[in-house]
Structure 1
Amino acid sequence: MSDEKKVWNESEAILHSLQDDILVTDTDGIILKVSEATEGIYNMKSNEMVGRSVYELEKEGVFTPILTPLVIKEKKKITLVQTTNNGDKLLVTGIPVFDQNDRLVRIVSYSHDVTELLNMKKYLTDIEDEMERVKSELEMLRNLQFDSDGMIATSTEMKKVLQLAMQVAEIDVNVLLLGETGVGKTHIAKFIHKKSSRKDGPFIEVNCGAIPEALFEAEFFGYESGAFTGAHSKGKMGLAELAEGGTLFLDEIGELSLANQVKILKFIQEKQFYRVGGTKLRTVDFRILAATNRDLEKAVEEKIFRHDLYFRLNVVPITIPPLRKRSTDIIPLMEYFLTYFSKKYHRERSLDEGVLHLLFTQEWRGNVRELINLIERLVVTSPKQLIEIENLPPHFRRSYPPETSVDDNNRSLNEILDSVEKQVLLKARKQYKTTIDMAKALGISQPSVFRKLKKYGID
């Protein structure tokens, strides 16, 4: 008896000397032995666990899931992640023990605390996700190449437009470009085409408002020889066929008549058509982009635009803000096109600071198109290298109150410019929160803004 007691005590000592959590159960899940290390893991004394069922302990929330039934079922080594009542994560391994008759009699499990490892894994996963997001954003910014295509995006509003355009460019989804006349819908459409997988294909622009209704079908779908009086003897390929493998841009889509809307809808849905006077069904592979300055939702309500065509086109709408709502783009746009037209016409020109401030305050009802036309006109007509206020068209100068007019004979030009500058600063002060934002919008340094505000006593 003394020898047996000595062996048993030795086994217990060995068991409790282990730093890992060791737990032995029978095939009914009753705990027979546990190591002392188990106490710190499950917050239970080892003598409180012995004789208890692992099924009961799971119900009490001591640990979950339990390993015993899995080992009994599979009769092989099983490993899983277990959660304790403290929220710790344990990597638990269960090993079946068989007697001399190959019957399963015990399940021995041991565990390692892997809470920190799992937290580290989650942290690394989060870091990888963040790096992937940043990488994607950097790639997008590299691909935007705003200035190379005359796409100036200093303002937050325009950056969002171009980022969305970049996202949809990669997918052959229908895009509807919305915005006032002159905001640059055609430029955005070309931008999407250039960044898409169809960039090597044609970009075919169809101005739906410029083609007479009676000629639209023949121009769009083409016609066979002898289709109508005056038709070309060999027939003619339509704009739809020319878009094969590329992008078909339907500009001013809101100007289409209801009859032509039906034809366009069928063509978009089926990508098949007949030429006028033809019997051969033709198929074309293209991507549709559309644009309008009209409120199509209102047009649908008024039943002058088909709702099914509207929903077919309006898969991804992109609204381009007017220039007056993205004023931080005004000066960069002026500088860009000033350089462009100076090179084009071989006439080196620059804008006086007063001109920059004066034009910055304009409403630009014609948006970017109006700005481009003005800069081109100034480059061509200005007799001197420096373009001054007196070189501006009269209606730009008349847009200000009399006291800021260059025609005021009672004040010097410097006094007039100071008055204009003060108005510009007052407007910018109301629109932007910081002098840094003001400086970006006005195209001058932040210290210059600070000095000018102090000069005019603007808080």
Structure 2
Amino acid sequence: MRGGRFTVDEELQIELDKIVETSNNNITITDEDGIILRSNPNHWTMYGVKADSYIGKSVYDLEKEGVLSPSVNVLVLKEKKVVRILQHTKTGQVVMSTGYPVFNKEGRLIRAISYSQDQTEIIQLQEQYKQLQTKVAGFQTEVEKLREKEASHRILFRSAKMQQLFKTIQRVAKTDATILFLGESGVGKSTLARFIHDQSERHKEPFIEVNCSTIPETLFESEMFGYEPGSFTGAQRKGKQGLVEQANHGTLFLDEIGELPLAIQVKLLKVIQEKKLMRIGGKDELQVNFRLITATNQDLKKMVDEGKFRLDLYYRLNVVPVDIPPLRERKDDIAILLQHYLQSINEKYDTSKKLHPTTYELLIHYHWPGNVREMENLLERLVLTIEEQIIVPEHLPFDLQKDIKETVDPPWNFDQEIIERKTLKETLEEVELKVILSAYAKCKTTYEMAEYLGISQPSVIYKLKKYKEAIKKGSF
């Protein structure tokens, strides 16, 4: 200082001190021997060192003491290049430090300057984010499992035939193979098609179901393939996307495929082969990518022989044929389906109707020509139209009662003279006993019996005790 004024060098020193002190980055400057010349006062609190005790300290000593672990300035002095490291301090913090070498005109290393930033909060946030990602992934997996579980619960079965069929469906569901469902109306082809879509890689994409028997032949082409604006009189001003186009990246399910007109069969075959379509009135072909599932209750091979169905289309569709047996051929499934649909319909209409054991047994032995669809419609009709809580045989439609009498020889057909010689209570007990014996012979556990009979498991135990002697005899 001269005459009360600072020299240029002194002013530069003051400026440098202030820059280091006020910098957002924690700065440490050492000489070529590792002695600390300048540093931020607050910087050292991260390392557990008092703010006034760092100047003149050696970074080599601080490294030995474990204060700097390791020292970025030491590494810069040794390697004479830029170094970036993560430090873990005694106070439990994580510090990102970057060191730079300073050379004089002769190329000799004279200083090491480091900048340090506390990364503890950032790393904690990163760790929390990773944990959150793990949780989200876990939730997604759980949702996927629930989705698969929910989907599988929609297909209820117990019979050996359906168990084997379901194994086949599960194997092909993950692929893009074309599937042809064969079977009578009402056996559940639509449900199985939806299940396959839900289990496939396309489950997040559209599932487009088309009942080929409900679209008039004159409208079929425009409905299936769409049209451009102004293509014909009555067309929508903006044109229309066809059903095939709507299924792009998803699944196209064509039910009642046997009803397709021959002219449409040709165009559908082209779309299946080339994965391209052209809207009515369009000039450019559109690329489409869909998984095809079809279904029919007709004998397509016979239709091919009769010239009603194209052979080349038949081979395209018949990649994985799945023949669904009618309900009368899988009697073991009837009980579980009765329970499921009755519960579902009760929940839908907020009711609590139940089947009388005799009604239940009658429906078990009924041959169900309309399959699952007939069962669902019948139960809904009974729940809505019967005032009583218990649905007895007399509540069944007359045609169904007649059909049952003609086709079934149930165990409750008593000799009329025997009935006339007994009181109503005795007759009902006799009917109940026969139903209990029938369930006991068919079921393995009391829970199965409860499900089979439509009553609670404690009620089953009570009735087994009641008819203990008759069960021991094992006779009707």
Tell whether the 8 Å contact from 2:152 to 2:195 is kept in structure 1 after alignment: no
Q: Does 1:320 align with 2:329?
A: no
Counterpart residue number, 1:234: 238
Q: Distance in 1 between matches of 2:151 and 2:290?
A: 28
Specify the code of the residue in structure 1 equivalent to 2:185. Answer: T
Tell whether the 8 Å contact from 1:354 to 1:417 is kept in structure 2 after alignment: no
Q: TM-score normalized by structure 2?
A: 0.59
Report the alpha carbon displacement of residue 343 of structure 1 after superposing the two structures with TM.
Answer: 0.9
Distance 1:418 1:242, change over 3 A: farther
Specify the code of the residue in structure 1 equivalent to 2:327. Answer: L
The counterpart of 1:289, out of the listed 265, 268, 293, is: 293
Specify the code of the residue in structure 2 equivalent to 1:320. Answer: I
Q: Does 1:176 align with 2:180?
A: yes
The counterpart of 1:207, out of the listed 205, 211, 221, is: 211
The counterpart of 1:362, out of the listed 360, 366, 387, is: 366
Specify the code of the residue in structure 2 equivalent to 1:165. Answer: I
Q: Distance in 2 between matches of 1:236 and 1:419?
A: 62
SS at match of 2:403: coil
Specify the code of the residue in structure 1 equivalent to 2:197. Answer: H
Q: Distance in 2 between matches of 1:342 and 1:230?
A: 44
Report the alpha carbon displacement of residue 328 of structure 1 after superposing the two structures with TM.
Answer: 0.8
Give the aligned length.
314
Q: 1:33-432, aligned counterparts within 5 Å?
A: 145=149, 149-401=153-405, 412=424, 415=427, 418=430
Q: Does 1:457 align with 2:452?
A: no
Specify the code of the residue in structure 1 equivalent to 2:364. Answer: F
Q: Distance in 1 between matches of 2:429 and 2:317?
A: 49
Specify the code of the residue in structure 1 equivalent to 2:348. Answer: K
Q: Distance in 2 between matches of 1:323 and 1:415?
A: 31
Report the alpha carbon displacement of residue 417 of structure 1 after superposing the two structures with TM.
Answer: 8.4
Distance 1:342 1:305, change over 3 A: same
Tell whether the 8 Å contact from 1:222 to 1:276 is kept in structure 2 after alignment: yes
Q: Distance in 1 between matches of 2:358 and 2:297?
A: 33
Specify the code of the residue in structure 1 equivalent to 2:217. Answer: E
Distance 1:421 1:377, change over 3 A: farther
Report the alpha carbon displacement of residue 185 of structure 1 after superposing the two structures with TM.
Answer: 0.2
Q: Distance in 2 between matches of 1:413 and 1:319?
A: 47
Distance 1:351 1:282, change over 3 A: same
Structure with larger Rg: 2
Q: Distance in 2 between matches of 1:255 and 1:424?
A: 47
Tell whether the 8 Å contact from 1:154 to 1:328 is kept in structure 2 after alignment: yes
Percent identity among equivalent residues?
Answer: 43
Q: Distance in 2 between matches of 1:387 and 1:256?
A: 42
Cα deviation 1:326-371 (Å, max 9, x = unaligned): 1111111111111111111111122211111010010100000000
Q: Distance in 2 between matches of 1:396 and 1:416?
A: 22
Specify the code of the residue in structure 2 equivalent to 1:316. Answer: V
Tell whether the 8 Å contact from 2:252 to 2:293 is kept in structure 1 after alignment: yes
Q: Distance in 1 between matches of 2:404 and 2:470?
A: 21
SS at match of 1:236: coil
Tell whether the 8 Å contact from 2:225 to 2:242 is kept in structure 1 after alignment: yes
Distance 1:394 1:414, change over 3 A: farther
Give the superposed CA RMSD.
3.5
Report the alpha carbon displacement of residue 274 of structure 1 after superposing the two structures with TM.
Answer: 0.6
Report the alpha carbon displacement of residue 396 of structure 1 after superposing the two structures with TM.
Answer: 2.5
Distance 1:452 1:337, change over 3 A: farther
Report the alpha carbon displacement of residue 395 of structure 1 after superposing the two structures with TM.
Answer: 2.1
Report the alpha carbon displacement of residue 376 of structure 1 after superposing the two structures with TM.
Answer: 1.2
Distance 1:274 1:451, change over 3 A: farther
Tell whether the 8 Å contact from 1:357 to 1:420 is kept in structure 2 after alignment: no
Higher alpha-carbon deviation: 339-348 or 225-234: 225-234
Q: Distance in 2 between matches of 1:313 and 1:450?
A: 56
Counterpart residue number, 2:452: 443
Distance 1:219 1:450, change over 3 A: farther
Q: Distance in 2 between matches of 1:332 and 1:373?
A: 16
Distance 1:435 1:202, change over 3 A: closer
Specify the code of the residue in structure 2 equivalent to 1:327. Answer: K
Q: Distance in 1 between matches of 2:255 and 2:275?
A: 18
Q: TM-score normalized by structure 1?
A: 0.61
Q: Which runs of 5+ in 2 are unaligned?
A: 1-144, 454-459
Distance 1:178 1:437, change over 3 A: farther
